[in-house]
Amino acid sequence: MGFMDFIDKLAGKRIIRKGAGEGEEFIELEPNEMKKKAAKIFVKYFVLTDFADIKSVIDALREGYTIALLKIKPLKDKDMNELKRAINKVKRTVDAIDGEVVGIDEDWIIAVPNFIEVYKGEITGGEGASPTDEGEAQE
């Protein structure tokens, strides 16, 4: 790699050679032309205060690249039947895209597309607990 190749690399340019030998041609490509468009995954936060709020959640999930965190406490405090309807609507949408809906605690649920897996096991041991602490406690 020559000095100019190194400078072009630092500048974010890429040179492609066409042909071989003395009469080589070079085509300069800008960095934007070299990048492939990658799918972005969004984590979106929603607060459900009314049944109508579920539309934006469903629209985001149907796009296919959204992890939806839903705070359900305001709707739960307001109207439990509306909350059940809203959660059922989210579940039907997520089932259609082969995703999953998981309750995080009493006030939160998460809805994810099919390429995301939510770990549902419990984390054992508290803060600062180590395997040696547990072994010493058993003795």
The residue ranges of DSSP E strands in 1-139, in sequence order, are 14-18, 25-29, 42-47, 66-71, 100-105, 108-112
Residue type, 111: A
122 pLDDT band, cuts 50/70/90, is: confident
- Any idea where the domains of the chain sit in the sequence? 3-34, 42-112
The pTM of the full predicted model, rounded to 2 decimals, is: 0.59
- In sign, the C-alpha dihedral spanning 120, 126, 130, 132 is negative
For residue 27, the model assigns a pLDDT of: 62
| Residue range 50-102, pLDDT digits in tens | 999 999 999 999 988 999 999 999 999 999 999 999 999 999 999 999 999 99
Average pLDDT over the chain, rounded to an integer: 78
CATH of range 42-112; options 1.10.274.50, 3.50.50.60, 3.30.1180.20, 3.30.110.150: 3.30.110.150
Reply yes or no on whether the pLDDT at 134 is more than 70: no
Q: What is the DSSP letter of 22?
A: T
